[in-house]
Structure 1
Amino acid sequence: MEKRLGALPVVSEFTRRLDLAGIVDAVCPGGASAHVTHGQVIEALVANRLTAPAPLVRVGDWARTWAVEEVFGIEAGLLNDDRLARALDAIAPHLEHIAGTVGARAIGEFGIDVSRLHWDMTSMSVHGDYPVEGQDEDFPVINYGHPKDRRVDLKQVQAGLAVTADGGIPLHARVFDGPAAEVSQVVGAMKDLRTMAGTRDFLMVADSKLVSYANLTALLASGVHFVAPAPAAQVKDQVYAALDLDRATAVNWVPDRDADKPPERRERYRVLEDTHTLKGPRKKDPELTVRRILVHSTAVAAGQQAARDKRLAKAGEDLGKLAAAAGGRHYKTREKIVARIGVITARRRVTSCLRWSITENERGTPTLTWSFDQDVLDGEAAVDGWYALLTSIPADQADPGQVLIHYKGQGAVERRYHDFKGPLAVAPVFVQHNRRVAALIQVICLALLVFCLIERQVRRALGPEQTMAGLYPDNRRVRPTGRMIFYHLGELTLRIGHITDPPTVQITRGVQLHLLDLLGTDIGQTRPGLDGGAGPAGLGVRAAASVAQQTGRLGRGRDGGDVRAGEGVGEGGTRAGAEPGAVPLLRHDLQTRRGDGVVLGVVVGEDDERACGGLQRVAVGELRVRGGELGGAPGAELVDRVVVDLDLPLGGLGGGQHLASGEVASGGEIVDHGRAQQVDGGGQGRGS
């Protein structure tokens, strides 16, 4: 019997470090007779969203086919939709406390830098009636608003995220009413972040909704610095048209998307600085003066020019057709032509630059002449590429270029919303009450936190370059994303054994081992049982050639006998019953040898280690042989006598190739896709 294991052990480890279940149980204690606590249920919901998102009514089915009981110690029958709904009802009054406590725990446990936080809001459209009079007013109300997906026919609920510049971690999340105005939520978010950060100072980066007199007054009074773009209405085009681009300072920064482009094709930025003044709604309100960074982007300028050219071309086409049809049966009168011009100018947005006139001949037939005002077009082109940023950061702490770089990190929160609505499937929402909708969205935000922490851990473990091979079939080196990490770990399976044969994790690809090593997760560990006992037996780990046979065989000696986990070779490569000179493949127990650096479960040589796509910590401290042990320090003299075969696609060799097809040591055999090929003793061989 097999179950899907996927990334459940990794999720379990990260939720344990966050103390997610403990934090929930502290504010939502269950009854003494409860078979599973609210905290355990919420933890299981988080795991479901990260591995195979399902409606509440299907979570029990997910738990039966996945190794939820083996990893979390929760029986599938305890995760029915009624129990899940009761857990959501229990946490609903405490959502802000749970989110803040878990976020603060993440900061301390994972050492997250909170010196810069990016805030933004998004909307989730819902299908269903959700009558306002039937909703609980103590929780976010589902109603019509201004949806980001432009589904104005659907009601919505909103969520706000505060994401760190360090790894894009969503430390803070809140759920809001559907019609709530973004500008009104900034102060509340700032206060929550101030509470979470404690004594740490932080910079708040947001979009133009942050800029209002009330918001800036609160931010300045609290000592929280900010960066946000100025609303377009607050900076007139005449300001930009008067700027001298030659006097602007070039910014030494290249977007990641342009890093591989030649210098002449990269986006370039130049900046100037002055001040911006905001007046309060009342005459007695003091004026607020902040720094204004005027930014020019070559990519923005090119995009605006291209958009204008497209609008003019389409407007010219429409006006040409109208001029040709003027006086015909559809446009016999001046009034009809004027009405059509109004439609064209509104649709193509050329009202400011279009000049036209209508004349009539002696028979009253109208004629249309038109043109675009070049002076107006030149004036529009003069302001292309310019926009303004407002900030309260003192000039001695950040020059204009650094302020721009801070703001450019705002894309991190947009990427997290992409994960929120993509892999974690926040929509559609299959619950009826608005309090449960709010609680479920908050649970998904907690899942997003775990998702991002896992991505950050892998990237930090890879070092400064933060790239690895093996994630794509062509083995190109890329930065691993949370989506790709969960995709590859999702193929892990668990073979359920019996009393003499403990459960075994089936690892089929080398990239899975690499990711588990980077995450530092011991997949052989399980949670305690529901009664607080030892729980299921520890999980064995199998990373073998021809894993489909599930026999533990890694190779054969010349006698044809199997070599199983825990067996090894003695001096000269002799195995009981094997002819001298045959060096069968060797396997080590990953669970017991992990602390000594054996991460593949087999002994690999230097060339094979290179083929593993970056696994640098493979070492051998001892070889277990039948009848005793052969001790030895890690070194090439032991490794070079072993032939390695995993039948696993690994980085560095290209798609479809395997470790056995790389450099192999002498005196053994190669098993490639189940076909054995002998390598002469004493020689160096290369697989086919």
Structure 2
Amino acid sequence: MNLDVAGIVDELCPGGASAHLTHGQVIEALVANRLTSPAPLVRVGDWARVWAVEEVFGIEPELLNDDRLARARALDAVAPHLERLAGTVGARAIAEFGIDVSRLHWDMTSMSVHGAYPEDGQDQRFPVIKYGHPKDRRTDLKQVQAGLAVSGDGGIPVHARVFDGGAAEVSQVVGAMKDLRELAGRQEFLMVADAKLVSYANVTALLEARVPFIAPLPASQVKDGVYAALDLERAAAVDWVPQRDAGRDPAEREVYRVLEDVPHLTGPRKRDPQLALRRILVHSTANAAGQRAARAKRLAKAAEEMDKLARAAGGRHYMTAEKVAARAGVIAAKRRVTTCLRWRVHQHETGTPRLEWSFDQDVLDTEAKADGWYALITTLSTGQANPAQVLTRYKGQGAVERRYADFKGPLAVAPIFVQHNRRAAALIQVICLALLVFCLIERQVRRALGPEQTMAGLYPDNRAVRPTGRMVLYHLGELNLRIGNVTDPPTVQITRGVQLHLLELLDVKVTQTRWPQT
């Protein structure tokens, strides 16, 4: 991979991490460490001995010792240059590997951090570790956040940024757009994001910058009854099949239908001009089935609890009508049936409260009509994309979620054992660089395989599957380097045919190989 991470780092922050290593060499070694041994940064010297770091990178394992001086100095050195590092490496990846950046998907994720990290002890020039709104719902832990821009071509994370733990996603969209404009250069690109993009300020900035976008409308911005009033028969079927349904019977596949209208986005002030956008109304049979099942479950739980309350009314815990009504309100809110649950508490002739309740069928029928619908907004013209094409381009947004799964899975972004927030930010950026390499490896193997992008040999049952970065590194991680001498050159020991096949797909020229004797 000709990314020249070491050269780029050394140009941004010249000077050695130690007397024998440059900052670039250390960062490059850390990227390799994340790819091959994603664990807390301890005993990196032992990892370097096992993984032939001296033979590959020319770094003596002892220089990556457990006192972590070289690594800490390198992280401190790159911390002030993270945005330039991300932009430079991303631009190089685009140029070297011909990545199409005409469509870029943007999203953010959070990483919970164990430790106190008092704010007054952190460097305020760098992303601050603090409480926020964690995606993993660990509200008891502080966090730091990262944003990724992933190409529609192969799902390559061509840009990454680190943010404060308390940074609001909606406030980062304009900054991300500016970064992506600089990254794409003269090439026009489509920005795809989640509902956090949709605010009057963000949409105005994107329109002024002439950056087209697609994003889902937040549910709160669609008035009640809009979806229920739509005629599904008028919606056009979309000729697109999700990858998860590719092998299923056509009758069992998820079906999408689309309609279009023109809503107006209003600003926070009366004098703000209304923004006319295209709104694509999407119906998904899978979403509809899921919403029906979820509603049935909520109604069943609410009915069970309301029946129990009706039996308990007048007992020692619910001796008054006020207590019965209060409990009914709690049930309605907890089970999210406030709109359809009706109840009345009246006095029995004995003076004890009695509860009568029911579900409003008209409300349930209206909710059922809205099942499966959601809305996208876009600035793409009808000439640039019809409603079905808007939907299929938005569906690429799943690539960002998959990359975050790689980010927190195979590359193990947590746990992070660093003392300062500036080092935490730098280490996350290093992991983003590792993710870039991880995804380029996956893309290269798939492209070399041809249109089907499948191969056998990755799993014990020999079935043909699309190779993932995780599986490629798993098989290549078992290669061994036999150290030679002057008369006996080093030899890569290949134990399985799939390893040789993967090296060929990656266009790696292994001049000296040795198969085990049988």
TM-score range, shorter chain: over 0.9
Residues 467, 480 of structure 1: 8 Å contact kept: yes
The answer to whether structure 1 residue 69 and structure 2 residue 41 are counterparts is: no
The answer to whether structure 1 residue 300 and structure 2 residue 287 are counterparts is: yes
Q: Which residue of 2 aligns with 1:550?
A: none
The answer to whether structure 1 residue 480 and structure 2 residue 459 are counterparts is: no
Deviation, structure 1 residue 302:
0.8
The answer to whether structure 1 residue 381 and structure 2 residue 353 are counterparts is: no
The answer to whether structure 1 residue 446 and structure 2 residue 433 are counterparts is: yes
Q: Which residue of 1 aligns with 2:3?
A: 18
Stretch moving more, 467-476 or 515-524: 515-524
* Other structure's SS at 2:43 match: helix
Question: What is the CA–CA distance in structure 2 between the aligned matches of 1:336 and 1:195, rounded to whole Å?
Answer: 61
* Other structure's SS at 1:351 match: coil
Question: What is the CA–CA distance in structure 1 between the aligned matches of 2:285 and 2:36, rounded to whole Å?
Answer: 42
Question: What is the CA–CA distance in structure 1 between the aligned matches of 2:510 and 2:215, rounded to whole Å?
Answer: 44
Q: Which residue of 1 aligns with 2:483?
A: 496
Question: What is the CA–CA distance in structure 1 between the aligned matches of 2:277 and 2:133, rounded to whole Å?
Answer: 30
Question: What is the CA–CA distance in structure 2 between the aligned matches of 1:237 and 1:507, rounded to whole Å?
Answer: 63
Within-5 A mapping of 1:351-390: 351-390=338-377
Within-5 A mapping of 1:29-428: 29-31=14-16, 34-80=19-65, 81-428=68-415
Residues 237, 383 of structure 1: 8 Å contact kept: no
The answer to whether structure 1 residue 541 and structure 2 residue 498 are counterparts is: no
Deviation, structure 1 residue 158:
0.3
Q: For residues 125-176 of structure 1, what are the alpha-carbon distances to aligned partners after superposition, in whole Å with 9 as ceiling and x for unaligned?
A: 0000101001111100100000000000000000000000100000000000
Provide the aligned length of Structure 1 versus Structure 2.
516
* Other structure's SS at 2:271 match: coil
> Which amino acid is 1:369 matched to?
E
* Other structure's SS at 2:513 match: strand
Residues 33 and 307 (structure 1), Cα distance of their counterparts in 2 relative to 1, 3 Å cut: closer
Give the structure with the higher percent helix.
2
> Which amino acid is 1:404 matched to?
L
* Other structure's SS at 1:24 match: helix
> Which amino acid is 2:273 matched to?
P
Deviation, structure 1 residue 317:
0.9
Residues 205, 410 of structure 1: 8 Å contact kept: yes
* Other structure's SS at 2:95 match: helix
Deviation, structure 1 residue 322:
1.6
| Structure 1 length-normalised TM | 0.74
> Which amino acid is 1:390 matched to?
I
Question: What is the CA–CA distance in structure 2 between the aligned matches of 1:520 and 1:232, rounded to whole Å?
Answer: 48
Identity of counterpart residues, as a percentage?
Answer: 77
Question: What is the CA–CA distance in structure 1 between the aligned matches of 2:40 and 2:246, rounded to whole Å?
Answer: 41
* Other structure's SS at 2:204 match: helix
Deviation, structure 1 residue 284:
2.8
Stretch moving more, 228-237 or 465-474: 228-237
Question: What is the CA–CA distance in structure 2 between the aligned matches of 1:479 and 1:53, rounded to whole Å?
Answer: 23
Residues 266 and 497 (structure 1), Cα distance of their counterparts in 2 relative to 1, 3 Å cut: same
Question: What is the CA–CA distance in structure 2 between the aligned matches of 1:218 and 1:109, rounded to whole Å?
Answer: 31
Q: Which residue of 2 aligns with 1:436?
A: 423
Deviation, structure 1 residue 517:
0.7
Residues 432 and 348 (structure 1), Cα distance of their counterparts in 2 relative to 1, 3 Å cut: same
Residues 33 and 82 (structure 1), Cα distance of their counterparts in 2 relative to 1, 3 Å cut: closer
Deviation, structure 1 residue 328:
2.7
Deviation, structure 1 residue 350:
1.1
Residues 449, 455 of structure 2: 8 Å contact kept: yes
> Which amino acid is 1:247 matched to?
R
Question: What is the CA–CA distance in structure 2 between the aligned matches of 1:119 and 1:251, rounded to whole Å?
Answer: 24
Q: Which residue of 2 aligns with 1:665?
A: none
Residues 17, 70 of structure 2: 8 Å contact kept: no
Residues 17, 23 of structure 2: 8 Å contact kept: no
Residues 249, 271 of structure 1: 8 Å contact kept: yes
Deviation, structure 1 residue 265:
0.9
* Other structure's SS at 1:166 match: coil
Residues 488, 512 of structure 1: 8 Å contact kept: yes
> Which amino acid is 2:372 matched to?
G
| Structure 2 length-normalised TM | 0.97
Gaps of 5+ in 2: none
Deviation, structure 1 residue 278:
1.4
* Other structure's SS at 1:300 match: helix
Q: For residues 84-139 of structure 1, what are the alpha-carbon distances to aligned partners after superposition, in whole Å with 9 as ceiling and x for unaligned?
A: 00001111111110110110000110000001000000000000010100111110
> Which amino acid is 1:67 matched to?
A
Deviation, structure 1 residue 231:
1.3
Question: What is the CA–CA distance in structure 1 between the aligned matches of 2:309 and 2:209, rounded to whole Å?
Answer: 59
Residues 413, 431 of structure 2: 8 Å contact kept: yes
Question: What is the CA–CA distance in structure 2 between the aligned matches of 1:315 and 1:349, rounded to whole Å?
Answer: 9
Bigger CA radius of gyration: 1
Q: Which has the higher contact order (CA 8 A, sep 6+)?
A: 2
Q: Which residue of 1 aligns with 2:449?
A: 462
> Which amino acid is 1:93 matched to?
P
Question: What is the CA–CA distance in structure 2 between the aligned matches of 1:385 and 1:394, rounded to whole Å?
Answer: 25
Deviation, structure 1 residue 271:
0.7
Q: For residues 426-477 of structure 1, what are the alpha-carbon distances to aligned partners after superposition, in whole Å with 9 as ceiling and x for unaligned?
A: 1111001011010000000000000000000000000000000011111110
What is the aligned counterpart of 2:13 among 7, 28, 46? 28
Question: What is the CA–CA distance in structure 2 between the aligned matches of 1:237 and 1:469, rounded to whole Å?
Answer: 51
* Other structure's SS at 1:409 match: helix
Question: What is the CA–CA distance in structure 2 between the aligned matches of 1:312 and 1:33, rounded to whole Å?
Answer: 65
Q: For residues 556-603 of structure 1, what are the alpha-carbon distances to aligned partners after superposition, in whole Å with 9 as ceiling and x for unaligned?
A: xxxxxxxxxxxxxxxxxxxxxxxxxxxxxxxxxxxxxxxxxxxxxxxx
Question: What is the CA–CA distance in structure 1 between the aligned matches of 2:91 and 2:257, rounded to whole Å?
Answer: 38
Query: What is the alpha-carbon root mean square deviation over aligned residues?
Result: 1.3
* Other structure's SS at 1:238 match: coil
Question: What is the CA–CA distance in structure 1 between the aligned matches of 2:179 and 2:510, rounded to whole Å?
Answer: 36
Deviation, structure 1 residue 31:
4.7
Question: What is the CA–CA distance in structure 1 between the aligned matches of 2:48 and 2:351, rounded to whole Å?
Answer: 80
Residues 458, 480 of structure 1: 8 Å contact kept: yes
Residues 16, 23 of structure 2: 8 Å contact kept: no
Deviation, structure 1 residue 331:
2.5
> Which amino acid is 1:66 matched to?
W
Residues 35 and 285 (structure 1), Cα distance of their counterparts in 2 relative to 1, 3 Å cut: same
Stretch moving more, 29-38 or 99-108: 29-38
Question: What is the CA–CA distance in structure 1 between the aligned matches of 2:319 and 2:37, rounded to whole Å?
Answer: 63
Residues 251, 270 of structure 1: 8 Å contact kept: yes
Q: For residues 309-338 of structure 1, what are the alpha-carbon distances to aligned partners after superposition, in whole Å with 9 as ceiling and x for unaligned?
A: 000011111111122222233333222222
> Which amino acid is 1:308 matched to?
R
Residues 506 and 365 (structure 1), Cα distance of their counterparts in 2 relative to 1, 3 Å cut: same
Deviation, structure 1 residue 507:
1.0
Residues 354, 372 of structure 1: 8 Å contact kept: yes
Question: What is the CA–CA distance in structure 1 between the aligned matches of 2:439 and 2:226, rounded to whole Å?
Answer: 41
